[in-house]
Amino acid sequence: MFKVSYLYVKKQPKKNPVFWRLLRLVPVLVFVLGFLALFYAGWPIISYQVRSWRRFQANNLIKPYSPVGVNNVLGDISEESFFSVAGVDEGLTRVKNWLPAGSDRGAGGRVDYYSLTIPTLGIFNAVVQVGGEDLSQHLIQYGGTAYPGDFGNAVIFGHSVLPQFFNPKDYMTIFSLLPTLEYGDEILVDFDGVRYRYQVEEMVEVKPDDLAILEQRFDDSYLSMVTCVPPGTYLRRLVVRARLVR
């Protein structure tokens, strides 16, 4: 007598070839998107480094001002005092975290607010507060530095981010394109009912703790604009200095 054996093979469900092909592409897609995100954020920093090496360091400039004819009207400020006031909670939207204490000096003077225009960058009538503190609300002129139009150096701080997020009306991004200025570009200041015209004559990088940017030179009227570089970082400070056109 014969025994008959039966083998049952369960039929596998038919796979959708298109779905599985797409599923295999997911890791590749994630990698590409991650690479593009890194490139989007990193390229402005890399390109700035290349350009700044040529523009701001080719002449081996270290400090924005010559020690000849310079007087530090803010008094002696030690490196220790700089780090003792640099809080970590409020971030770089607070002027006191950029430089030593004394940023309120000058507030309550003959003018507390004035406007600054940089036509090349599309910045018009940006508000500058003298001796202010909050960079998310205004540009800030460091208290104790010269008023625009006077002999000396008016030092103005502004926030910056990656240049693709630049908005000339947003004080968190307003100085993001400052490195793109060229020598001879015009800076207009409306101060106490008078319009002053400055021209860019010097652009240099300094270390974050370099206090030379506050020093005063009284042979003419200068305007210094300061922001963090490379874009989106706070590793160094870019100082753009302009001289009054008379």
* pLDDT tens, position by position, 117-134: 999 999 999 999 999 889
* pLDDT tens, position by position, 133-191: 899 999 999 988 999 999 999 999 999 998 989 999 999 999 999 999 999 999 999 99
Give CA separation, 61 vs 22, 54, 154, 173, in Å: 55, 12, 21, 27
CB atoms within 10 A of CB 82: 17
Per-residue pLDDT at 232: 81
Coil, strand, or helix at residue 30? helix
Round to whole Å and give the CA distance between 140 and 157: 5
Task: Average the pLDDT over each of 6-20, 35-49, 94-108 and give the range with the smallest value.
Answer: 94-108
Domain coordinates of the chain in residue numbers? 52-244
Round to whole Å and give the CA distance between 46 and 151: 38
pTM, entire model: 0.70
212-153-183-62 Cα dihedral, nearest 10 degrees: -10
Does position 226 have pLDDT exceeding 60, yes or no?
A: yes
Residue 217 half-sphere exposure toward CB, CA atoms < 13 A? 18
Positive or negative: CA dihedral 158, 211, 46, 34: negative
Question: Superfamily for 52-244?
Answer: Sortase (2.40.260.10)
* pLDDT tens, position by position, 57-73: 544 443 444 443 444 44
